[in-house]
Amino acid sequence: MSINEMYGSASFGDAAMRERLPKAVYKQLKSVQAGEAELTMEIAEAVANAMKEWAIEKGATHYTHWFQPMTGLTAEKHDAFISPTSDGRANLEFSGKELVQGEPDASSFPSGGLRATFEARGYTAWDVTSPAFINDEEGGCKTLVIPTAFISYHGEALDKKTPLLRSMQAINTQAMRVIRALGNTTSTRVLTTVGPEQEYFLVDEKYFKARQDLLLTGRTLFGAMPPKGQELEDHYFGAIPAKASAFMADLNTELWKLGISAKTQHNEVAPNQFELAPIFTYSNVACDHNQLIMQTMKKVARKHGLVCLLHEKPFRGVNGSGKHNNWSISTDDGINLLEPGKTPGDNIQFLVFVCAVIAAVDRYAPLLRLSAANTGNDHRLGANEAPPAVISIFLGEQLQAILEGLANGKGAVTVAGTKLELGVTSLPKLPKDLTDRNRTSPFAFTGNKFEFRMVPSSDSIAGPNFVLNTVVAEVLSEIADTFEKAKDTKKAVQTLISDTWKDHGRIVFNGNGYTDEWIKEAERRGLPNLKSSVEAWPYFAAPESIAIFEKHKVLGKEEIHARLDIVLEKYSKQINIEAGVALEMAGREILPACSEYAATLAAEIEQLSAKKLPVGQMESLLARMAALIEDAYKRMKDLEDAKAFAKSVPDVLKQAQAYRDKVFTAMEGLRSPIDELEKLVPMDVWPMPGYEDLLFRL
């Protein structure tokens, strides 16, 4: 099968709908997708029938409403198409009602108190804009999967997707007001698009299964660095290892069948670390696709005897993984509102939307920071590999000069297109972009989009994008209010640029975000530095945060407080699990093996001493090991005490703080002597695969 034939063959996307739906129904459905009409049951019935016939032809026997609860994973309940008849036969049925609405148990998923145990009813609602697809699990049933939103009986959002859809509606409303005020009369809708780059590690399955920490927590709680790490910088963009290449080939095939545009693949910086990047699509579809990418990565890896690790920091001492969230905003008739054009200084529409993003990021930096917060990211942010916890914007020298010039009344700095001279006549002259790329910046302008580089590798992109959409919508609403009242729009734009640069220019930083000097400079500028998730999350429920989410109907106050409770509780549970695993590994595997080897070493010393042979260095090694073993046992007791204390704290925020300050600190304390012991104990004695196996043997 060719790529053209394969691509989208397992997706009930636009091509399949156009082919199988009556023309009138297809046209009506497109109007519903565009937000121009409401979904009627007549349309739903026609689509359900066509979808069922298509799915059955593909071998599907079941269907499911697929949703994204606050667990961070996806959820699904499968129902067969079979409906028994009175004569003992079976019809294959799927109605419009079954397509539009499902009813999972709302009390069995995290709700932050929105649903009590006895209040079980919840609803899944078909996301008309995200294509259904066939899930083909090896050895299992083929299933028609219908992307949905998940809400409570009273309409509160219980998932990650609903606020994303609401935020897309909010930014559409406000952006349309702005472009109308700027004279655009042809566009009818504004959409946000996302292209999330996904980083991940691959490890051999046999090594993964031999490590309790990887199996239960997704990261190594102990592990001494091997003599070689990533310091030679020889893995990044290097030749892809054979096993990884075979995995990628199968992964691409599976994703292309689903209509997911897996485009770019390469080695990342750390050994056995890789990246996959798809082409941009609408934010909610990109969110669904990214969930599918992560699921498919794990499924395909198993077929190759590998395990895909999506944790933000599975290995200490080498780079962790993120998800670069490339965000842009466009009209339905193809205008990218963040496209500078050939003369960006004269492109009023571009300048207005860039100013909106600058103001939104500065004013609501804590919200953006918390949208990228999770337990794993706390290990990654601020290391020499990922953006710091301080939010800043990289614009590039040329774009900054344009804005500064306009803000200071000097006019736009004209930047002509230039060519790079390579000094070799046989090489072409390359066009130079308006900006460089700054991989140290958490929020960088990269030509016609902004790249939010803080997003954690294991999380849904729904959170960062609904926050980003909402804060930009809020600033756009204020701009629209001004422009709609302005007698002179050009003057209003000039004032906007001047005020934005004066009030929010502090957020722009084009330098190296990895340096200590920048952290000091950021503090001088008054930029918040929220180093941990527990510091950042409470800003979600700040009055100004609640105000904008309620104003744009993205989340209500109760929904926000519920989400805050969920993430704090999850944080505590994850650290508690990690602490329990660390204690088990240390107490039942590592320290017994070390003690046994120490006893063997002591016996050898005694035998050699009896023969009057020199044993001074061996005695020093034994003494060092004994001290480390004793230290580790003491630190185990410290961890047990910290764990017990944190578990006893009743308040959800204070408990999370206790797990961060006491339990996590005690875990790091235990790791120190154990990692030292790993360097002293023979490889065949150490009870689990080490970093050399995990990072260099694929």
Domains of the chain: 3-159 (3.10.20.70), 167-555 (3.30.590.10), 570-696 (1.20.120.1560)
pLDDT of residue 436: 57
pLDDT, one tens digit per residue, over 459-518 is 999 999 999 999 999 999 999 999 999 999 999 999 999 999 999 999 999 998 888 899
Task: Place 423 in a pLDDT band, splitting at 50, 70 and 90.
Answer: low
Sequential DSSP letters for 561-593: HHHHHHHHHHHHHHHHHHHHHHHHIIIIIIHHH
CB atoms < 10 A from the CB of 56, how many?
15
Is residue 443 within 8 Å of residue 368, measured between CB atoms?
A: yes
The least confident of 226-240, 535-549, 568-582, 681-695 is: 226-240
Residue 296, judged by CB atoms within 10 A of its CB (0-12, 13-18, 19+), counts as buried
How far, in Å, CA of 185 to CA of 479, rounded?
18
pLDDT of residue 195: 95
Q: Checking phi first, is residue 685 left (phi over 0); if not, alpha (psi -120 to 50) or beta? A: alpha
Task: Place 154 in a pLDDT band, splitting at 50, 70 and 90.
Answer: confident
Task: Return the H-helix or E-strand segment holding 25.
Answer: helix 23-33
Question: For residue 70, what are its two tokens?
Answer: 């606050």
pLDDT-above-70 percentage for the chain? 94
Answer yes or no: is pLDDT of 385 > 70: no
pLDDT of residue 686: 97
Residue 650, C-beta contacts closer than 8 angstroms, at least 6 positions apart: none
The least confident of 149-153, 309-313, 427-431 is: 427-431
pLDDT of residue 427: 56
Query: Residue range 71-80: average pLDDT?
Result: 90
Task: Place 567 in a pLDDT band, splitting at 50, 70 and 90.
Answer: very high
Beta strands in 10-96 (DSSP E): 11-12, 62-66, 78-80, 82-84, 90-92
How far, in Å, CA of 302 to CA of 322, rounded?
22
The least confident of 19-28, 212-221, 420-429, 673-682 is: 420-429
Answer yes or no: is pLDDT of 421 > 80: no
Q: For the chain, what is the largest distance between any 2 Cα atoms, rounded to a whole number of angstroms? A: 102
Beta bridge partners of 125: 101, 149
Task: Kindly report the three-state secondary structure assignment for every residue of 234-262.
Answer: CCCCCCCCHHHHHHHHHHHHHHHHCCCCE
How far, in Å, CA of 638 to CA of 666, rounded?
6
pLDDT of residue 170: 98
Buried b (16+ CB within 10 A) or exposed e, 559-584: bbbbbbbbbbebbbebbbebbebbbe
- Which residue, 315, 280, 413, is CA-closest to 693? 315
pLDDT of residue 233: 73
Please give the distance of CA 280 from its chain centroid, rounded to a whole number.
15
Question: For residue 285, what are its two tokens?
Answer: 């579809």
Answer yes or no: is pLDDT of 166 > 70: yes
The least confident of 66-75, 306-315, 473-482, 553-562 is: 66-75
Residue 103, C-beta contacts closer than 8 angstroms, at least 6 positions apart: 121, 122, 123, 124
Is residue 179 within 8 Å of residue 190, measured between CB atoms?
A: yes
Question: For residue 664, what are its two tokens?
Answer: 């996590």
How far, in Å, CA of 237 to CA of 147, rounded?
35
pLDDT-above-90 percentage for the chain? 79
pLDDT, one tens digit per residue, over 89-139 is 878 899 999 999 998 877 778 778 776 666 677 899 999 999 999 998 777
pLDDT of residue 416: 54
Average pLDDT, the chain: 92
- Which residue, 486, 177, 494, 189, is CA-closest to 348? 494
Is residue 175 within 8 Å of residue 330, measured between CB atoms?
A: no
The radius of gyration of the chain's CA atoms, rounded to the nearest angstrom, is 28
What angle separates helix 348-363 from helix 489-504, to the nearest 10 degrees?
A: 30
Report the half-sphere exposure of 386 (CA within 13 A, side-chain side).
28
pLDDT of residue 88: 77
How far, in Å, CA of 78 to CA of 59, rounded?
15
Residue 278 is given by DSSP the state: E
pLDDT, one tens digit per residue, over 4-30 is 889 999 999 999 999 999 999 999 999
Query: Residue range 199-210: average pLDDT?
Result: 97
The least confident of 150-159, 250-259, 282-291, 376-385 is: 376-385
Question: For residue 591, what are its two tokens?
Answer: 């320290």
